[in-house]
Structure 1
């Protein structure tokens, strides 16, 4: 994994509005880029659990929109804000014709999930680990058809199962820093 410095990320994202749409996992992956914009340290596990929806300096706006549905009034209002307000320069996990053609639209495939303590590996219930692979295939195919950039985070982080926190779904700060490095390399 290449290492990034706070100075590198500040330079790369200078005057770029980054918007991330998604669930609690996407909220978690938003936190490391925000942290590295501030300094080279990692977020603590407690900080990863906290909520960050908006970060802004004079040159680095980052906004997270928590989504629980594919379509809702909330999503429509977010897209209307994009259409009438400042347009994102980079958007992760969204689509929409309201975005500027200059906007880098990235579809981030779902990351793998780990096993909970005591779970029998031969009989995982629910079968989410395998479902994610299938869902990633279909959603990535659609993203490619619509000419979106796709980052296969499932592939990149497939061996990071030990980097999961107790819920076996969310990741620790080391996995998030790896994610940030991959994302910044793609934006660059």
Structure 2
């Protein structure tokens, strides 16, 4: 797969507010987006493993993490934020899809800036740390979350529900405290069941569903030794899937990238996706849109191209997107920050 480049990510997300909600996998999704907005590099192994640090690639820790007690409990908090002149990216660590803490996050959206993109998943903690019979509780919390989220965000906000990634047979993740180690052999099957519930409900509430479990079912060699987390190549692939989908939702053509990503020690022993044999789960489905390559000569000539109605592409209502369960309705052209946006958030302050 040809990954989205630094330059394409910059242009697509120019003056956009991106929010990522979820566990440690979602934290790495946030980190890869922040890194790609600044340079053509992959995350290092140490960056993928770190949590709660004061700063990552010029972002800042706003709440929780090393500012308070570091632990693996369900009350762990971590809020991170990357802000520049034209980007605002925020991450909230959550261990349950609906709780008092999640209600406070939704209140942030009501009182503050409205996100342009919300990328969210909560699954493994929900089904392992709260109830042995998790099904009814998880379904109820999903209903509450989707209903409240729908009433909080404007219609133009793109909400992407990521299905949980495949788990290994032997797990060593931080969420797997001694009290629940007996659940480890069954957990990978519970994730499949939970993905069915969450994907179906997200679809029913009009959210877009990105099936990461399906996408990476044949990429298990890129999973780390703990059986839970994934390497930098997979996270760049996830970022590319998300940004390609956002481009399609906004009716923007996403051509093939022209630049190669600089390798780090985290990827030196692994082939890049573009040079490796494409797994069966990553092939293009019939009827999916074609990304044009090379781009027009004037494609990168103006940073605000996103805000002009594109003449060479159509919103994704007109065809079935290959990575989502359903195609959303056509969105109005939405560019809330076309002019200079005053800084509502201090570089290292509270939101």
TM value normalised by structure 2: 0.50
Higher relative contact order (CA 8 A, sep 6+): 1
Q: Distance in 2 between matches of 1:187 and 1:60?
A: 15
Q: Deviations over 1:99-152 (max 9, x none)?
A: 1111001111111123449xxxxxx95222221111111111101111111100
- Tell which structure's C-alpha radius of gyration is larger: 2
2:185 pairs with 1:126:
yes
Residue 60 (structure 1) shift: 1.2
Long gaps (5+) in structure 1: 118-123
Counterpart Cα distance in 1 of 2:157 and 2:188: 32
Taking the aligned partners of 1:58 and 1:113, their CA distance within structure 2 comes to 38
Aligned to 2:62: none
What's 1:29 paired with?
Answer: 29
Shift of 1:30: 1.4
Which one of 94, 99, 102 corresponds to residue 156 of structure 2? 102
Aligned partners of 2:166 and 2:188 also within 8 Å: yes
Instruction: Note if contact 1:21-1:64 (Cα within 8 Å) is conserved in structure 2.
Output: yes
Alignment of 1:145-160 (within 5 A): 145-160=204-219
The aligned length equals 182
> Are positions 1:40 and 2:67 aligned together?
no
Structure 1 match to 2:201:
142
Q: What corresponds to 1:86 in structure 2? A: 113
Q: Aligned-pair distance for 1:73?
A: 2.4
Alignment partner of 1:61 out of 79, 88, 103: 88
Decide whether the 8 Å contact of 1:87 with 1:99 is kept in 2. yes
Q: Which moved more, 1:63-72 or 1:100-109?
A: 63-72
Residues 109 and 150 in structure 1, CA contact (< 8 A), matched pair in contact too = yes
Unaligned runs of 5+ in 2: 57-79, 121-144, 172-182, 248-351
Q: Describe the SS at the equivalent of 1:112.
A: coil
SS in 2 for 1:38: coil
Judging by fraction of residues, say which structure has more helix.
1
Q: Which residue of 2 aligns with 1:120?
A: none
Residues 1:176 and 2:203 are matched in the alignment: no
In angstroms, what is the RMSD of aligned CA positions?
1.7
> Do 1:45 and 1:172's aligned partners in 2 also have CA atoms closer than 8 Å?
yes
